[in-house]
Amino acid sequence: MLTAVRNPEPWTPGPALDVAVWIGPFIERAHPRPGDDHGTEMIAVALVHPETGHAAAYLHGHQLGYNGKGWLRCETTAILGTWQPAYTMLTNAANLPLPDDVGMAPAHYRVHIEARRPDGTGYKMLRLGLYFQTWVASHDTDRLNTELAGQAATSIPGFTVAAKDTLATTRATPTRTSPTSRRT
């Protein structure tokens, strides 16, 4: 086990091999999202139970919080290397459920249609998504930009209208204030 941590099998972007990811003091097993594991600084992964492949492990992993996290953004600096069975004893599954906050944001994408003036100011006109794979968002962005290219001058005079794909951010929930804390 210690040899595996000291000499991890190197991970390179591209092959869809499970990776060992640092989450706090633990090493967790993560599966890169197909088609979205080619980034140099950030990839999308799903945390999986260390004994994935067995029905009992899936159910046990569900109870420990592995299956409810969805796709997450993982910095490549948090990747120790390719997953090895020796890491199993170093995971949360060895004795604890996953924490609610694993330190990774959801990996969702959006397409924004923007109208921009020549000075760079402008407006977001429309948000499309959530997309769960970056290549699908990029494909839709390219299709929209192709369609908009012929009509950009007539859409909104004085503005350039274009689509752009971006990471989706979570919306902040509005906070309620008590009647005594409001200013009059």
pLDDT at 151: 66
pTM score, whole prediction: 0.63
163 by Cβ neighbours in 10 Å (0-12 / 13-18 / 19+) ranks as buried
pLDDT at 157: 80
Task: Please write the tens of the pLDDT for every residue from 160-177.
Answer: 888 888 877 654 333 333
pLDDT at 152: 56
How many angstroms separate the CA atoms of 148 and 36, rounded? 27
pLDDT at 119: 92
- Please give the torsion angle defined by the CA atoms of residues 137, 167, 34 and 131, in that order, rounded to the nearest 10 degrees: -50
Q: Are strands 71-75 and 42-48 parallel, antiparallel or unpaired?
A: antiparallel
Range 97-118 burial, b when 16+ CB lie within 10 A, else e = ebeeebebebbbbbbbbbbeee
- In the numeric block, the tokens 């950009």 are attached to 152
What string of pLDDT tens digits covers the 184 residues of the chain?
A: 667 677 788 887 777 788 999 988 889 999 888 767 556 788 888 888 887 765 555 566 667 777 677 788 889 889 999 998 888 888 887 667 787 888 888 888 889 899 888 898 988 888 888 887 777 888 999 999 888 886 655 667 888 888 888 877 654 333 333 333 333 3
